[in-house]
Amino acid sequence: MRLSNETLGRVPATVAHPAYDRAGVKRGVVHLGIGAFHRAHQAAYFEAALAAGDLRWGITSVSLRSAGVRDQLAPQDCLYALVVRDGDARTTAIVGAEQAVLVAPEDPQAVIDALAHPDARIVTLTITEKGYKLDRATGTLLSDDPDVAADCASLAAPRTAPGFLAAGLAARRAAGLGPLTVISCDNLPHNGKLLRDAVLAVARANDPALADWIANEVAFPASMIDRIVPATTPEDIAALAADLGVEDRAMVKTEPFTQWVVEDTFVTERPDFSALGVQLTKSVAPWEDAKLRLLNGAHSGIAYLGALAGDDFVHQFVATPAGRGFVEALWDEAQTTLNSPDGLDIAAYRVDLMGRFANSALQHRTRQIAMDGSQKLPQRLLATIAGRRAAGQSADALALAVAAWMRWQSGQTDVGERFTVDDPAAAHLGALSAGAADAAERVDALLGFFGFAADADLRQTIVAHLDVLEQDGARAAVSPYG
Ligand code: NAI
Ligand code: CS2
């Protein structure tokens, strides 16, 4: 029996569930890219707004690719459980904020209509780094991407997130409706500006007057988002079914920690964000840098080193003195490149972060984090290294994390197990890696992919790490930090 409006009464009374009138909820939010993170983060904030009696903030969610999440949620009247795990402790709440899930390739017009609905005010996005369709070196649209080309030629049936936003905003403009506030919730620096650039480029290719209207009317605040949300597994679903008495195939699991820092440039109504714990600020950049370089930088290092060495989960890697030592060393290096935001105590943040990584109940897979390294390394590791080198500082642990990413491109773990590199640039990176005669050539080729110019000392450090990784494995490479 599945979770639904009808079976909600069977759920144990200890599990919180929507006490507001779901039928009276308006759809003030459109979310593009409904994955696990959205359900554990933005949806939880909008759920809190609804629970506080502000019924404007129901969500129409959109999957831009597969029907998977729609097929999980639709038979459940869009109800799902948010399970917060902290060691042995579990808290479960049923979330009712999702009102409908649209699958864009099945019905692109329905997505445009949702964006152009008079009740819509806020759009949030979690489409992964690669969904922005931008050449990160130049900030321009990926002109050789067929979906980008199609959206630049016509907005009748968009294919990309920037295309849908341009089409939805065009429909709002034509209907005389107001603008939207569009919030990127992906782990990218200056995510608001990146999204704005992408939407304006697609709009301009179709209709320069639309682009001007968007530039003048629509807000794209930057945001820093933080909550560790590992992919749900069949075991998680089975364990929850035993607790709930009904099956929930759309559940998500997460940690107690949650943070959302948003640039205060809204052009629309919004929930009482401050009351919901959302931090509104003039400048998100220092928050972004701290999170991307400390949390995500360490995560990527842990992911490649851990997965190469056979650690399936993040908590296993930080359970060893060498693993913890490596993470602390990486933070010592990264920290000197930060302008600490007001209100962030970096020393305390680091202690908390190590506790979050050590949360064994999350079962956060190193291979999940290892995905899409080509999209993640610049902001997580390379910018940090560049900052250290510009200040005349060394970057040993950061260089080891980059070398581990390079080793990952070989598609083989330290015990020779083959795996598929999950990355939009995997074929190109694999060819660069395989085509190099030795570690030094591989370092040059793979840094060249990013257009990253390493000075002689830094290059030597990365080559030395890659040599150890290739000959003795990741455990040996990390052991000096123990
Ligand atoms: P997920 O795998 O559950 O969902 C990914 C979503 O992105 C899906 O809706 C998928 O269809 C969509 N997507 C994938 N490739 C796309 C493309 N090329 N174009 C458009 N949409 C695409 O992943 P999850 O956990 O929801 O994470 C999504 C993003 O959220 C991350 O990439 C990251 O930027 C951000 N995030 C995730 C956190 C986490 O702990 N899971 C925490 C903070 C941010
Ligand atoms: C992770 C992040 O998958 C990854 O690349 O580093 O999704 C991480 O879990 C979040 O940024 C935490 O907020």
Q: What is the CATH number of the domain that holds 258?
A: 3.40.50.720
d(CA 61, CA 29): 8
CB distance 183 to 125 below 8 Å: yes
Q: Are residues 276 and 311 in the same domain?
A: no
C-alpha 466: how far from chain center: 28
- Identify the CATH number of the domain in which residue 376 sits: 1.10.1040.10
**Can you give the pLDDT at residue 186?**
98
Q: What percent of the chain has pLDDT over 70?
A: 100
Q: Left (φ > 0), alpha (ψ -120 to 50) or beta: where does 22 sit?
A: alpha
Q: For a pocket test of ligand 1, which of 69, 125, 126 has the largest count of ligand atoms closer than 8 A to its C-beta?
A: 126
Q: Are residues 67 and 157 in the same domain?
A: yes
Digit-coded pLDDT (tens) for 182-228: 999 999 999 999 999 999 999 999 999 999 999 999 999 999 999 99
* Closest C-alpha residue for ligand 1 atom 4: 35
Q: Can you tell me the mean pLDDT for 362-371? A: 98
- Tell whether ligand 1 has an atom less than 6 A from the beta carbon of residue 227: yes
Digit-coded pLDDT (tens) for 286-322: 999 999 999 999 999 999 999 999 999 999 999 999 9
* Closest C-alpha residue for ligand 1 atom 22: 127
- Per-residue pLDDT band for 5 (boundaries 50, 70, 90) equals very high
Length of the chain: 482
Listed in sequence order, the residues at least 6 apart from 459 whose beta carbon sits closer than 8 Å to its beta carbon are 440, 443, 444, 447
- Tell whether ligand 2 has an atom less than 6 A from the beta carbon of residue 299: yes
In a domain, 456, yes or no: yes
Measured CA to CA in angstroms, residue 451 lies from 137, 214, 374 at distances of: 8, 32, 12
Q: Are residues 345 and 270 in the same domain?
A: no
Q: Are residues 397 and 310 in the same domain?
A: yes
Digit-coded pLDDT (tens) for 181-192: 999 999 999 999
- Tell whether ligand 2 has an atom less than 6 A from the beta carbon of residue 340: no
- Tell whether ligand 2 has an atom less than 6 A from the beta carbon of residue 296: yes
- Tell whether ligand 1 has an atom less than 6 A from the beta carbon of residue 35: yes
Which range marks the domain in which residue 163 is found?
Answer: 8-281
In a domain, 3, yes or no: no
**Is 90 exceeded by the pLDDT of residue 111?**
yes
**Can you give the pLDDT at residue 228?**
98
Domain count, the chain: 2
**Is 90 exceeded by the pLDDT of residue 341?**
no
Digit-coded pLDDT (tens) for 443-482: 999 999 999 999 999 999 999 999 999 999 999 999 999 9
* Alpha carbons within 13 A on the beta-carbon side of 204: 10
In a domain, 463, yes or no: yes
Q: How far is the CA of 322 from the centre of ligand 1 (A)?
A: 31
In a domain, 1, yes or no: no
- Tell whether ligand 2 has an atom less than 6 A from the beta carbon of residue 227: yes
Q: How far is the CA of 121 from the centre of ligand 2 (A)?
A: 27
Q: Are residues 314 and 195 in the same domain?
A: no
Q: Are residues 154 and 293 in the same domain?
A: no
Q: How far is the CA of 228 from the centre of ligand 2 (A)?
A: 6
> Which strands sit side by side in the sheet containing 59-63, from one edge to the other?
98-103, 59-63, 29-32, 122-125, 181-184
φ, ψ for residue 371, nearest 5 deg: -60, 145
Q: Are residues 439 and 319 in the same domain?
A: yes
Residue for token pair 């591989």 = 442
Question: From the alpha carbon of 226, which atom of ligand 2 is closest?
Answer: 13
Listed in sequence order, the residues at least 6 apart from 242 whose beta carbon sits closer than 8 Å to its beta carbon are none
Q: What percent of the chain has pLDDT over 90?
A: 98
**Can you give the pLDDT at residue 143?**
86
**Can you give the pLDDT at residue 188?**
96
Which residue, of 254, 281, 308, is where some domain finishes? 281
d(CA 219, CA 210): 14
* Closest C-alpha residue for ligand 2 atom 5: 369
**Can you give the pLDDT at residue 343?**
85
Longest CA span, the chain: 66
Average pLDDT of the chain to the nearest whole number: 97
- Per-residue pLDDT band for 342 (boundaries 50, 70, 90) equals confident
- Per-residue pLDDT band for 340 (boundaries 50, 70, 90) equals confident
* Closest C-alpha residue for ligand 2 atom 12: 228
**Can you give the pLDDT at residue 471?**
97
**Can you give the pLDDT at residue 93?**
98
Question: From the alpha carbon of 230, which atom of ligand 2 is closest?
Answer: 9
Which residue, of 235, 253, 281, is where some domain finishes? 281
Instruction: Name the pairing type of β-strands 134-135 and 122-125.
Output: unpaired
Q: Are residues 246 and 328 in the same domain?
A: no
**Can you give the pLDDT at residue 139?**
81
Query: For residue 166, which of 136, 122, 196, 134 has the smallest C-alpha distance?
Result: 196
In a domain, 2, yes or no: no
In a domain, 257, yes or no: yes
φ, ψ for residue 441, nearest 5 deg: -65, -35
CB distance 418 to 411 below 8 Å: yes
Digit-coded pLDDT (tens) for 153-189: 999 999 999 999 999 999 999 999 999 999 999 999 9
Digit-coded pLDDT (tens) for 265-283: 999 999 999 999 999 999 9
Q: Are residues 337 and 469 in the same domain?
A: yes
Q: Are residues 467 and 356 in the same domain?
A: yes
Q: Are residues 407 and 268 in the same domain?
A: no
Q: Can you tell me the mean pLDDT for 341-368? A: 96
Q: Can you tell me the mean pLDDT for 247-276? A: 98
- Per-residue pLDDT band for 136 (boundaries 50, 70, 90) equals confident
Q: How far is the CA of 337 from the centre of ligand 2 (A)?
A: 20
Which residue, of 281, 306, 333, is where some domain finishes? 281
CB distance 62 to 30 below 8 Å: yes
Q: Are residues 368 and 331 in the same domain?
A: yes
Q: For a pocket test of ligand 1, which of 128, 147, 151, 199 has the largest count of ligand atoms closer than 8 A to its C-beta?
A: 128
